[in-house]
Structure formats: structure tokens, C-alpha cells
Structure 1
Amino acid sequence: MTQLMGRPILSLPDDLGTRSPLADLLVGARTALLALSVIAVPVLGLWVLTPYGDITARGALRLSCALWLLGHGAPLGRGAGAPFTLTPLLLTAVSLGLLRRAGARAGARTPRSAGAWRAALPVGVGYLAVAALAVAECSGPEAVLRAEPAADLFAVAAVTVTGLAWGHCAAHGVPRRALPAAVTARLRAWTPALPAAVTARLRAWTPALPAAVTARLRAWTPADWAPPQDAAAALRRAAGSWLLGLLAAGGLLLTTAIALGTAGRSAAGLADGPAGVLGLLLGCTLLLPNAVLWAAAYALGPGFAVGTGTAVSPADTHLGAVPEFPLLTLVPTGTPGTAGQAVLATLPLLAGVVPALLLGRAASGRGTDRPWHPAGTAAVAFAAVLAVSAAAAVAAWISGGALGSGRMSALGPGPWQAAVTAAGWSGAVVPPGALLARWILARSGAEPRPATTPAGWARHRAARLRRTLHHLVTRLADLSRTR
């Protein structure tokens, strides 16, 4: 009896070493309740600290459920049909992290096979069961933020599938399925024709080039243009490092604004007692990732909107009446000077240095003795540009929303503006930087002996410069990869 009581209830294995679907169902419900407790505990604590408030305990719990649904991107309604869709991304990150952990544990118990994902199905059902209860609690007429059942359950299901799939891929790896034979045959029949036509056109266009250049162009084959086998990992590292660099730029701008701004004095003036200060602090904490993404959009150039007909960017800023909230007091009311714009322009450029070094290091064949072709390096670099452009659009979309109808129906950066500017900044730095880093790392070798002639001395100095740049680029790439 003592051994049975000491075992975790949700982790009882049977004789075969597997778990029943009921246990996985309870794991999903527990995961949802853990994510809900992240917001329910501070909200109920604030309710306890406010004994003379009009809200009841059930009202505080209902507000916690509404905020939890908002953390999944679920649209809510406020007042007479006014939309409330601003997602607190901190709750989204917590929910995704817990779902990833549950998905990884469910996937680790099953062998890698075509049906391994079925182990996570009861976990998702248990999570959605708690979401259905939260939607039912927020659907009454007495709710301050009313739920839209169909849209809210769909949003929670999307986040659930994303988190569990992330955990499943962490346990079993990303599944790779081969293309159908008809598609691969069609690609093989079509692919060689384009480079052949291009090289033939180049032969007709370049009769005046040196013989070595034309011989090099004629020697190129379609295989030279194809990305290498290990390009996917390098592409993921490059795109991820660029996004992290841009987030670091946004965090730097937000930290500077908090240090120099009046957010603290604004919170003290708006709050009514310690409970009010803690409530404003909780709201600002939940929206802190949103503020970082808005600051990153400001560093990119397109900026963001604080209501319809407004714009906050380094080039142009025009605002109307802004709601009284501490984070909104950090919004700049004017455009920076020439020096400020120059500093802002360097942030996205610096963010592109690390992915360029990572791609250049991978393309030089360091560690594999198999360097990439320059055309393949450029193809992977432009694929990374497209990846960061799509990621910037998604980040801008999820960080914005609405706080009501009318003027406050548009908040946050525009997705397509963020995508275009991210593609422009990364395209200006990553492809040429990757090709330059590849050339430096590939050309570095044994240092030639100095010669007495001026030409030999120049070659000697050039080799020493290449060797110095090689050590610098290698060191920076190793440090960025380690971090």
C-alpha cells in the first residue's frame, strides 16, 4: 500500500510499459490546468488584496479563463460586440512550453513509427476538455470578456496541435517523406534544361570575357547550383540567429525606453493602492513580449500602429489619444534625429552579421572538407531571407490585435510591411556576407614565403590579411554557434 501511494497517479505503467489513454487524457487536463494556474493564481491573489471590489470569486476565475483563452489567440468580445483580440504572448509561450513537454513525453514512450503521433491524441483531447470548460464559463452574459465558442475552440486547438507536434518532433525528429516518383521524375526531366539554356545564353553573351572565366562558366553543371545535403540545418541556424538578433535589438530599445521613460510614474499615478500597482505590473508583464516585437518592428523601419490612422516609425510618427497604460507611455511621440535614425539602421544590419558568419562557416566546409559551391551558398542564403521574412510577418500578426471597435481596432505592426522590410535588411547583409565569409575561410591556407619583388611582397601581405580575417571570422562563428 505504501508503494502504491508513493507512485504518481498519472504515471502508472502497466505490465507492458505503456500507459492507458485515460492517463494520457489526465496528463492533457493537467497541462491545461498548469497553464491556467499561471494567470489564475495572480488574478485570485489580486482579488484577495482588494476586499472592497465589486467582482466576486467566480468573476475573478472567469477573468482568468478569459485571459487564458486570449493567450491562445482566441478572440473575445467586450461590451456591445467590441472585439478584444490582443494576445498576451507570455501566456502563449507558457502554454506552448507545457504542451511541448507533454508531447515530448508522450512521444518518448512510443517507438518511432507511422502511428507514433497517436500517443499525443489523448493528451490533446484532455487539454481541449479544459478549454471547453473555460469557454463555457466565459459564454454567459455576466462575463466581462465573452467567448466566441467556435472561434475560441479552434484557436486553442491550433495552439495545442502546434505544441504537441513540436514535442513529438523533439522526441522523434522531423519526419521527412520522399516525393512521389512521378514528381521526382518530372523534376529530373525539367531541372537540367534551365541551366543548359542559361549557360548557352551566357556563352553567347560573354565572348569578350577572359578564357578562364568562360571556361569556368562552361564547366558549371546543374549539380553545382543545387544546395548541399546539410543545407537545412545551416538554414535553420541562420534564420534563427537573425530572428534572435532582431529580438535582441527590440529588447535593447524597450529597455532603453523603460529606463528613460515614465512608465513607473504612470503606473503609480493610475493605480489605487498596492493592488492597483500589482495589477498594472501583471498586465505589463503579460504584454512584455508584445512590446519587444513592436520595438523590433520599430527598429526594422515600418513601426507599428496604436489605433487606426496612427503610425509610429523612425521616419514618421503621428498619434492621437492613447489609452492610459504604462507600456503605452513608452511610445515615442516624435521622430528621432539623423543620428538616432543612423543608430536604428545599424541594429538590423548587425542582426544579419551572425547568420552570414554561420552560413559562411558551413559553406567553407569547415569540419567536413567539402565546401559548397558559391551558387549553392547563395541559394541557401536567399532561402534564409525568405524564411526570416515569413517569420517576421507571423510575429507581427500575432503581436497585434484589437482592444475594441472604432479607433482601437488596429494595434501593432503590419504583417506585410514587416515581411518586406525584414527581407530587405536580411537580403542586403546575409547573402553577400555569407559569400564573403565563405571566400575568406576557403582561401585561407598555408602562408606563402615572402618574396623580394613588389608583387611577391603584395601577395605575402594579402595572404597574411586573409589569414587574419580567417581567424576572426572563425572565432566569431564559433562564439555565435556556441551561444
Structure 2
Amino acid sequence: MAGVNEMTARRRSPSPPLLTRMRDRSPGLAGGLMGGALAAGLGLASFAVLVMLLWISSPYPDSGPGGAMHVAAALWLLAHGAELVRTDTLSGVPAPLGLPPLLLLALPVWLLHRAGRDAADGGGGDEDDGDHDYDEDLGIAVSTPLVSPRTAWTGVVLGYLAVAVPAALYAAGGVLRPSWVWTGVCVPLVAVVAAGAGVWSAYGRPGRPLRRLLGVLPAGVRPLVLGPDGRPGVAARASAAGAGVLLGGGALLVVVSLVGHGSATQASLLRLTEGWSGRFAVLLLCAALLPNAAVWGAAYALGPGFALGAGHAVGPLASAPAPFLPPFPLLAAVPEAGRGTPVHWAAGVVPVVAAVVVGWTVAKGAVPPEREGTDPGGTRAAAVWPVGRTVRAAALASVLCAAVLAVLAGLSGGPLGADVLSRFGPVWWQAAAATLAWLGLLAIPTAVGVRAWRCRSRRAEEPRIGNQRGDAAEDAHGPGRLRTGARPGRGRYTRTGVAGVAGVAGSPGAANGPRGGGRADGTGAGGSSADDADAEVFWGAAALDGTRGEAAGGSRSAGRAGGARDPGRPGGTRDPGRSGGDEDDAFHGLRDQNRETDFGLYDFLPPGPAPTERSTPPESP
């Protein structure tokens, strides 16, 4: 029986955190596969629901539900950038369709990003249960996902492609058939990039992977792209700001042109289709193409413009006659054919503003604002960049912005048919070259000029700030004795500061009456001299802690263990540790030598309240 009790006593149930972690642990690769397949299925379902609603509401459906599902699968592939082939042409020759609406790309990217992040979390994202690791970039302990990044990323990509391949095979049986070359390149590329971004986000966006990718850049350029704290560098922020201004300006140009051609826009919408369902579908297509129109507007403002068919370029300087196009509402915003007018040339304000924004952002990083470092943990701002580094940062920002515009220009255009309709949208290398020329010519001088102006303003502020500090210090110290060798108006101190009040309060003279209320030779009312008060000021920290001068009738010092009677102490307390006056003379000599210098440690303290009259406690019998 005793053995049974012993074995029973040794039984221990697993701890709750371990059980929770075992229950919540993701199956790893299987979880990633499920997440990727779910992301692809949700994307396909969204497109299928939209197409089926439009097919049901259409008064003249061209095909049955099967045809609508084929169109939904083809549109899902087109959203990834894959080119389609239209087989129902009048000539019977298949025509390519490769102009993807950029707004449709947002749905697959978002779903893949969420799938990658959830697969990396693996159910271990709770603060109580998840593992914790030390982030070298942030310097803090962060929650570590339970699934390795490579496993989560591989699972999501494979799961997504496992659904994309059957969807492409199914779409091949419809009117819009996918191009296998473009499908085999674009769909895996989107899956790899979006899922990788999701896994990177799950791990707290560390800077180490980005630094590995930027290893091909020169050492002097890397900090401008990625800062030491893992955040985007000055050049990266400036390029993002410039690209945002260019795209925003392009969108503004499109809206202004649509408003100016309002009657033509309305007429094209009414002529293109009949019924509210068809017009609603056209409006949805216009909304999906708005990001494309913004990129086209930015290319128009930069100068190269865009193409409306092969050999028909539209720019601010001149516009070639466009081929016969359907009355689409967004095409009504295209300027008329002919030479440009000052109204069209005004579009050049957009790249000028973008260049100024890029230069200003670089200059702000080159001359950081000055911050005070008087706090115990405060640090002053970084040093001002030299002119050469400022020029390099502005040039790098221009190159990065040109690369962004090149990618967007390449994604926003494509063919709508054969022959004349084989090219629509801006040419990517022309948009990149124009962006680099505008920003390189304007952003670099702007950055250098703003840097010089900020440096001059910073130098002009320093004397005024110094004078304000000196006046504040003089007002804080108030009237008092000057330090030895100090000029009038500077280095003034009094004994009424915080440490001085504490020292005087802890001194024997403070218990016998107010400071300075003694005899003419400096001896206080209770027999203590003014030098004793100065000694207590010299030991300010000890006086604040109560280690010296414990009470009015206490011992003179912790170091005096007994000896001669001290006549300046209430009740005549004997100090046996003092034999004659040799020790006092040595102490006072050392104190007088260093008092003027050491009291400078307390110059930053504000003046304390005026000393008040204190009643002399009765001496002990």
C-alpha cells in the first residue's frame, strides 16, 4: 500500500502552458498548405460571385452559368497580371488581352499576405503561450511564431498554386483562355512575393532579410535605403513621397479632365450599354481601372505620355489621332489630337512638385532637428550630413522613384487586341527615364539648398537659445556670491538652493536658529560657525539622506566616536574622537580649498525658499 501511495504521489500532470502550446501548435507545412489553398479559393469565389451577379442581372446573357464561371476564372488569372487570349473575334484570329486592372490585384495580394502571416503565427501569437526571442534590430524581446518562416512560406505558395493550376485548366475551356507563359510567370511571382511579405510581417518585420537583399549595394548606399533601426532610410522615404505625389497628381489630372469633358463622359456611358445592370458593370470596370488611369496621368505629366494603340502617342506637347475606340468613359478624358496648349503644359507642375518634395525630405534627413540632451537618458540629434552625402541621397531617391514608376507603368499597360490595339498605356523605360531626368535636375539642387537654409537657421537659433539659458540660470540663481574667477552675471550661486537648504537644515546651527543670525565672527546662536553650515552644504547628498546631522541634539559626526566636548552642540555633547584642534584644522583647510570649486556642482539647482525663523529647542538637562 505504501508503494502505491509513493507512486501516486510522484504522478505529476503536465503544466497548462505546455498543454496549451501542444494544442495550439500548427501542423507546420500542412497548415501553410491549407492557408494558401483557402486564400486562392476565397479569391476565386469573390470573382465568381461578382460575375454571377452581373450575369443574372444582365437582360441579354450570352452564355449559361458555365460560361460565366469560365469568365470568373479568367478574370482571376488576369488580376495576377497573366495575359488572356480572346477567341471569339470577328476575324476568327485570337486576340490577346493583357491590360490588367490594378485594383483587382489588391484582393489576391491581401489574401496571400494574410495566409502567410497566419501560417507563420501557427497559433502561438498569444503573449502567454508564444515563444519569445530577442530582436537584434529593435533591441527588445518579441513574440516568436511557432512555425519556421521557410516552412510557412513554402506551404502557402504550394497551397495557392495547387488551386491556381486547376483554375487555369478550367479557364482554358472558355472564351477567354489564359496564356500559359504569362500564367506560369505571373501567378507564382505574385504568390511568392505576397506570401513572403506576410511571413516577414508575422516575424515583426526584421531588418536582417532586407539587409541581405541590399547586400549587392555599396556600403555607403545601404543606410540610405534601410536605416540602422530597420526602418526605411532617408532615400527610401523620399522616393516613396515622390512616387505618391506623381500618382496623386496623375489621378488629379484624370479627374480634372473627366470633369472638363463631362458631357462626353456621360454620353459614352449611355451609348456603351443599356439598362442599369450594364451601366453598373461599366462603372465597376472604370473603378477597377482608376489606378491604371493614375499611372497614365503621371506618365502624361512627366512628358512621354501613353499610347492609345500602336503609333498613337498622347502627350502634353502633342497628341496623335487615336484609332477608332469604343465609347468608354475613361477614354473621354484623353486630350484632343493636335499640338499641346499651355493648359496641357501645366501638367508639368506635377513632376516639379514631386521633385521639391523629394529634395525637402532628403534635406530634413540631412539636417535633423536639434533636441536637448539634458535629460538623463536624452541624446542629441545626429550630426549634419555633408553636401556629398546629401547629393547621393537625393540621387538615390530619384533612381528608386524612377524604378517604382517603371514597374507601375509596365503593370498598368498591355494589349487589347492585335495590330493597332497591341499597345496601350505608357512605355516603362520612357516613364523611368523621364522621372529620373525631372527628379535628378530638380531634387538634388532642392536638397542642397534646403540643407543650407536649415543649417543657417540652426546656427542662428543657437545664440538665442544660449542667451535664454543664461538668463534663466541667472534668474534661477538670483543674487549671491560670484565664483572665484567668474565674470559678472555668470557662475552666481547662493546657499539657498535645494542642497544648500538641506545641508543647513541638517547642520547643528539650523537647530539653534536661522542661518546668519549669530555673532559677527560667524558663530551661530547655538555656537556653530558659518563654516559648519558650508561644510554641510559640501556634503549635500549626505545631509539630504540624514547621514549627517541626525537631530538637533544628536552627535556631531558619524566619524567622531567620542572625545572632547564640543561647545557648539546643544547640551554640550562630548566628542571623544577629537584631540585638540588638529583634526578640525585639517578638515577646514581642505574644505576651504575645494569649497568654491565643488559648489559648482549645484549651480543648476533653483533658489530655495527664504530661511524662516525657527525656535531654539530647549536644551536637555
Q: What's the TM-score, normalizing by structure 2?
A: 0.60
1:31 is aligned, of 33, 39, 43, to 39
Q: Using the alignment, how far apart are the partners of 1:406 and 1:341 within structure 2? A: 29
Does residue 67 (structure 1) correspond to residue 75 (structure 2)? The answer is: yes
**CA, structure 1 residues 341+274, in 2 after alignment: closer, same or farther (shift >3 Å)?**
closer
1:153-168 mapped onto 2 (5 Å cutoff): 153-168=184-199
Tell me the alpha carbon deviations over residues 264-291 of structure 1, each in whole angstroms, 9 at most, x when there is no partner: 3211122121121122112212212111
Q: Using the alignment, how far apart are the partners of 2:421 and 2:357 within structure 1? A: 38
1:101-180 mapped onto 2 (5 Å cutoff): 101-109=114-122, 111=144, 116-140=149-173, 143-172=174-203, 173=205, 174=207, 175-176=209-210
Q: Rg larger in 1 or in 2? A: 2
Farther-moved stretch of structure 1 (331-340 vs 299-308): 331-340
Q: Using the alignment, how far apart are the partners of 1:113 and 1:91 within structure 2? A: 33
Q: Using the alignment, how far apart are the partners of 1:161 and 1:178 within structure 2? A: 17
Amino acid at match of 1:78: R
Amino acid at match of 2:362: L
Give the equivalent residue in structure 2 for 1:388: 401
Whether the 8 Å contact between 1:131 and 1:153 is mirrored in structure 2 is no
Whether the 8 Å contact between 1:228 and 1:372 is mirrored in structure 2 is no
Greater per-residue helix proportion: 1
**CA, structure 1 residues 399+424, in 2 after alignment: closer, same or farther (shift >3 Å)?**
same
Amino acid at match of 2:259: A
Farther-moved stretch of structure 1 (437-446 vs 386-395): 437-446
- 1:437 Cα shift? 1.8
Give the equivalent residue in structure 1 for 2:267: 265
Q: What's the TM-score, normalizing by structure 1?
A: 0.76
2:97 is aligned, of 70, 80, 84, to 84
Which one has more relative contact order, counting CA pairs under 8 Å at least 6 apart? Answer: 1
- The CA RMSD over aligned residues, in Å, is 3.1
Does residue 354 (structure 1) correspond to residue 357 (structure 2)? The answer is: yes
Give the equivalent residue in structure 2 for 1:319: 321
1:373-412 mapped onto 2 (5 Å cutoff): 373-412=386-425
**CA, structure 1 residues 335+370, in 2 after alignment: closer, same or farther (shift >3 Å)?**
farther
**CA, structure 1 residues 44+394, in 2 after alignment: closer, same or farther (shift >3 Å)?**
same
Give the equivalent residue in structure 2 for 1:289: 291
Amino acid at match of 2:394: A
SS class of match (1:15):
helix
Whether the 8 Å contact between 2:402 and 2:431 is mirrored in structure 1 is yes
Whether the 8 Å contact between 1:386 and 1:423 is mirrored in structure 2 is yes
Amino acid at match of 2:288: L
Give the equivalent residue in structure 1 for 2:586: none
**CA, structure 1 residues 256+282, in 2 after alignment: closer, same or farther (shift >3 Å)?**
same
Give the equivalent residue in structure 1 for 2:436: 423
Whether the 8 Å contact between 1:250 and 1:293 is mirrored in structure 2 is yes
Give the equivalent residue in structure 1 for 2:304: 302
- 1:240 Cα shift? 0.4
Give the equivalent residue in structure 2 for 1:440: 453
Whether the 8 Å contact between 2:360 and 2:447 is mirrored in structure 1 is yes
Whether the 8 Å contact between 1:263 and 1:329 is mirrored in structure 2 is yes
1:48-67 mapped onto 2 (5 Å cutoff): 48-50=56-58, 52-67=60-75
Does residue 339 (structure 1) correspond to residue 370 (structure 2)? The answer is: no
Q: Using the alignment, how far apart are the partners of 1:51 and 1:345 within structure 2? A: 46
Q: Using the alignment, how far apart are the partners of 2:461 and 2:24 within structure 1? A: 64
Give the equivalent residue in structure 2 for 1:95: 108
Give the equivalent residue in structure 2 for 1:41: 49
Whether the 8 Å contact between 2:406 and 2:429 is mirrored in structure 1 is yes
Amino acid at match of 1:135: A
Give the equivalent residue in structure 1 for 2:17: none
Whether the 8 Å contact between 2:32 and 2:151 is mirrored in structure 1 is no
Q: Using the alignment, how far apart are the partners of 2:189 and 2:266 within structure 1? A: 37
SS class of match (1:77):
strand
Amino acid at match of 1:137: Y
Whether the 8 Å contact between 2:35 and 2:116 is mirrored in structure 1 is no
Amino acid at match of 1:421: A
Q: Using the alignment, how far apart are the partners of 2:73 and 2:434 within structure 1? A: 37
Give the equivalent residue in structure 2 for 1:240: 240
- 1:361 Cα shift? 0.9
Q: Using the alignment, how far apart are the partners of 1:358 and 1:76 within structure 2? A: 42
% of aligned pairs identical? 35
**CA, structure 1 residues 105+436, in 2 after alignment: closer, same or farther (shift >3 Å)?**
farther
Structure 1 unpaired stretches of 5+: 1-11, 189-222, 451-483
- 1:176 Cα shift? 4.5
**CA, structure 1 residues 100+259, in 2 after alignment: closer, same or farther (shift >3 Å)?**
same
Give the equivalent residue in structure 2 for 1:372: 385
- 1:387 Cα shift? 0.9
Tell me the alpha carbon deviations over residues 348-397 of structure 1, each in whole angstroms, 9 at most, x when there is no partner: 10122222221111111336232212111111111111111111111111
Farther-moved stretch of structure 1 (89-98 vs 148-157): 148-157
Whether the 8 Å contact between 2:83 and 2:178 is mirrored in structure 1 is yes
